[in-house]
A and B are shown apart, each in its own frame.
Chain A
Amino acid sequence: MSPQVEAAFARLPEYLAWHVLLSASALGLGLLISLPLAVAASRNRHIRWPVLAGASLIQTIPSLALLALFFPLLLVISAASEDLLGYGFSALGFLPALLALTLYSMLPIVRNGTTGILSVSPAIIQAAEGVGMTPRQRLLQVELPLAAPVIMAGVRTAAVWTIGAATLSTPVGQTSLGNYIFSGLQTENWVLVLFGCGASALLAMVTDQLLGLIEAGAAKRDIRRAAIGAAGILIGIIVALTPLISFGKPASYVVGAKNFSEQYILAEMMAERIEDLGGEARMKEDLGSAIAYRALASGELDVYVDYSGTLWANVLNREDNPGREAVLEELTTELAERDGVLVLGSLGFENAYALAMRQDRATALGIESLDDLARRSGGLTMGGDLEFFARPEWTAINEAYGFDFRARRSYQPTFMFRAVTSGDVDVISAFSSDGRIAADNLVTLADPRQALPPYDAVVLIAPDRVNDARLLAALRPLIGAISVEAMRDANYSVDRDVDKLRPVEAARSLSQTLGLD
């Protein structure tokens, strides 16, 4: 077995356990809500349409968006509950994933439940009334048993959807089999992506078959078959969950990482340093950019690395650019005052947004700066990462230079680099510490009008950890210690196509290079 696959298998018990716990809870909760709704919808014509239309509407929301929407919603509710009841709850991780997946599981159950109950023949209903059943007895002894096969078919569909969609809960901070997929996509580790997809598909297939046994048992009135299916599901859940008994205990420190290689490497590095000092550290990877800071401010995360310009624009909503030092200084005071967050300091390198082009293309067109680019932009196509065109940085450079690109396209960062090297796009939004800039023979364009804010990588500490001596001792040596060249090399060792390192290996090698181990 290759070391990559071996490493993937090593994490399987944890990922699978969370995936099963999440899917099973969502499906169970979905059933608890959907069945009464289906009964109500079958009883009352007036609520049937709103219920079915509502369930369909939820289905039209892309599952990733639905998952992401629950985070701000829960933050608001959590804050309100903290004000009113004195305690809040975690808006990150399990809860938003559970709620979104529960909503997602409802449509097939509600729809099949309603159809199943309504399709019981009028003669049977008349007989049930005639023999003297109460409405409740009619439901439990006649309608639900007769509708059971149709309802079970809906549950099967819901189960397959839920297990598939659960892979998308990784970006809101919930560990799942999606961790393989998201990390694999970021680091172009296709083995990891396939492993994650395969594991989740296999889980869905096995679940579907077991639920199929229950469905067939219900249809053929074969209790034995249904019992085998139910027992299979139950045993599967219990076995899958056993690793959680050890994984589930809360780690003393939660280290956050956004969804790109540099973040994985830095998080691994910080986690290892915390453990070296006797602390326990757990990683929360693949967090969305907007989610990470709020998670830290609310104490979900203890530490992560962000970039001064990102915080400046997105957290403080500032559009001006007073210069590198001033931005850092003002951030430090403002974040401390506003949220109690400690900016421990800059790691020593910038990971700035920079527009990059292929060297040969830039030379041929005579483009060295954004001013040059603006003059030629009418004939060029611009590629951005998924969030770039929605970010204030894009608005800022657009206003400063007046671009007029022929077309704009958004990519996953990995594919964005492919697009510029292959010539699909002419210029991309890159990061200055990205190892692929040098490796792919790209040049970054100068920003003479200083429209892009500085992006010093800074270590942020959660409000309730600002006086944690062990944490500060573990992380202080990193401040000012990492050069952009060292970071670029480490990033490239993970991002390159051949001879890739895993983030944890890259972190160790970076520590060694910098003499920090």
Chain B
Amino acid sequence: MADPRIALERITKTYGGHQALADVSLQIAAGEFVALVGASGSGKTTLLKTINGLIKPDSGEVRIEGESVGDLTPHLLRRRIGYVFQEVGLFPHLTVAENIGITPKLLGWDKARRAVRAAELLDLVALPQEMGGRFPAALSGGQQQRVGVARALAAEPHIVLMDEPFGALDPLTRDSLGDDYRALHERLNLSTVMVTHDMTEALLLADRIVVVADGRLIADGTPQALAASTDPAVAALLAAPRRQAERLRARLGETA
């Protein structure tokens, strides 16, 4: 069997006296969409950042497509991995097209190739072409995050890391962007790791949900497997979306 796209082996990370990650191992295959779920401070973001080398683990090994991250130059590794996060972080002094083309530019693509790629990606994330010439400040929050996704995908990565990517968006935008991304994920055969504290979002988008608590993985499985779990902590995490769904059904049923 081929190497998994991402392999974490016995990762530990300590900040001061606080153990952020305790002996975590995780393998993610090509095409998988994994959600890392947990409360604030559970260690899920730390785990995500060890994958693209933004955080260096104290011990353990991270392998990307069979190569140990410790042997790779950090900035070269990051050019191979898409990264989307809540604050988006578009460069305000660059146009939308220049933002999308930044990683290809760092990789040495010529101008014409970057322009073609930026146009493709605007289509891919369902933004009009003329938006390419605008500056980020002229875009709505949802449009900005679409550009963020386009920027992450520009250099044709196999892996995309997302840190609360849709957290700051209004529910409608969040829904449509989530669905659109899920479609892209399948079309491009990506491996996506998404950090979220929103179990509903995880259940709706991911193939596999990994629950993180106090720096450990306490559950790992498909949404259906998680629903059947008897672990009280996992059950508690699922209780909220269940209750929400029941209340919605009840109220919508009443008014219907």
Contact = CB atoms under 8 A, between A and B. Distances in A.
Contact of A127 (B80, B89, B93): B89
Contact of A124 (B54, B75, B91): B91
B54 A142 contact: no
B93 A145 contact: yes
Contacts of B54: 126, 129-130
Contact of B83 (A125, A131, A145, A221): A131
B93 A221 contact: yes
Contact of B89 (A123, A134, A137): A123
Nearest to A146: B93
**Interface core residue of A127, A128, A129, A132 (most chain B CB under 10 Å):** A132
A516 interface: no
Contact of B92 (A124, A130, A131, A133): A124
A517 B79 CA distance: 84
B75 A133 contact: yes
A126 B91 contact: no
A130 B76 CA distance: 11
Interface in B33-86: 52, 54, 75-80, 83, 85
Contacts of B78: 129-132
Interface residues of B, number: 22
B151 interface: yes
A124 B106 contact: no
A132 B75 contact: yes
B207 interface: no
Nearest to B89: A127
Nearest to A142: B91
B185 to A, nearest CB: 18
Interface in A385-444: none
A125 B79 CA distance: 15
Nearest to A145: B93
Given A123-B88, A126-B85, A137-B106, A131 B93 contact: no
A215 B146 CA distance: 32
Contacts of B88: 123, 127
Nearest to B52: A130
Given A145-B93, A146-B93, A131 B102 contact: yes
B103 interface: yes
Interface string A114-155: 000000011111111111111001000010011000000000
B87 interface: yes
A145 B102 CA distance: 15
Interface in A93-126: 121-126
B203 interface: no
Given A124-B89, A127-B91, A134 B52 contact: no
B85 A130 contact: yes
B168 to A, nearest CB: 11
Nearest to B53: A129
Q: How large is the interface on A (under 10, 10 to 19, 20 to 34, 35 or more residues)?
A: 10 to 19
Interface string B87-125: 111111100000000110010000000000000000000
Contacts of A127: 83, 85, 88-91
A131 B87 contact: no
Contacts of B106: 131-133, 137
Contacts of B135: 221
B9 to A, nearest CB: 24
Main secondary structure of the interface of A (DSSP, over half): helix
A129 B54 CA distance: 8
A142 B79 CA distance: 17
Interface string A335-373: 000000000000000000000000000000000000000
B77 to A, nearest CB: 8
B110 to A, nearest CB: 17
A126 B163 CA distance: 12
A149 to B, nearest CB: 10
A126 B87 contact: yes
A360 to B, nearest CB: 75
B57 to A, nearest CB: 17
A142 to B, nearest CB: 6
Nearest to A138: B75
A145 B94 CA distance: 10
A124 B54 CA distance: 14
A123 B87 contact: yes
Given A124-B91, A146-B93, A221-B93, A131 B103 contact: yes
Contacts of B93: 142, 145-146, 221
Contact of A132 (B76, B85, B87, B92): B76
Contacts of B52: 130
Contacts of A132: 75-80, 103, 106
Contacts of A123: 85, 87-89
A146 B54 CA distance: 23
Contacts of B102: 131
A130 B83 contact: yes
A146 B102 CA distance: 16
A136 B8 CA distance: 30
Contacts of B92: 124, 146
Interface string B120-160: 00000000000000010000000000000001000000000
Contacts of B91: 124, 127-128, 142
A121 B135 CA distance: 17
B98 to A, nearest CB: 10
Contacts of A130: 52, 54, 78, 83, 85, 89
Contacts of B83: 127, 130-131
Given A126-B85, A137-B106, A131 B90 contact: no
B132 to A, nearest CB: 16
**Interface core residue of A123, A129, A142, A146 (most chain B CB under 10 Å):** A129
A121 B52 CA distance: 21
Nearest to A134: B75
15 contacts: A124-B91, A126-B87, A127-B83, A127-B85, A127-B88, A129-B75, A129-B78, A130-B83, A131-B78, A131-B106, A132-B78, A132-B103, A132-B106, A137-B75, A142-B93
Interface of B: 52, 54, 75-80, 83, 85, 87-93, 102-103, 106, 135, 151
CB-CB nearest 8 A-B residue pairs = A127-B89, A132-B79, A123-B87, A130-B83, A132-B78, A123-B89, A132-B75, A131-B103
Interface of A: 121-134, 137, 142, 145-146, 221
Given A130-B85, A145-B93, 19 more contacts: A121-B87, A123-B85, A123-B87, A125-B89, A126-B85, A126-B87, A127-B88, A127-B91, A129-B75, A130-B54, A131-B83, A131-B151, A132-B77, A132-B80, A132-B106, A137-B106, A142-B91, A146-B92, A146-B93
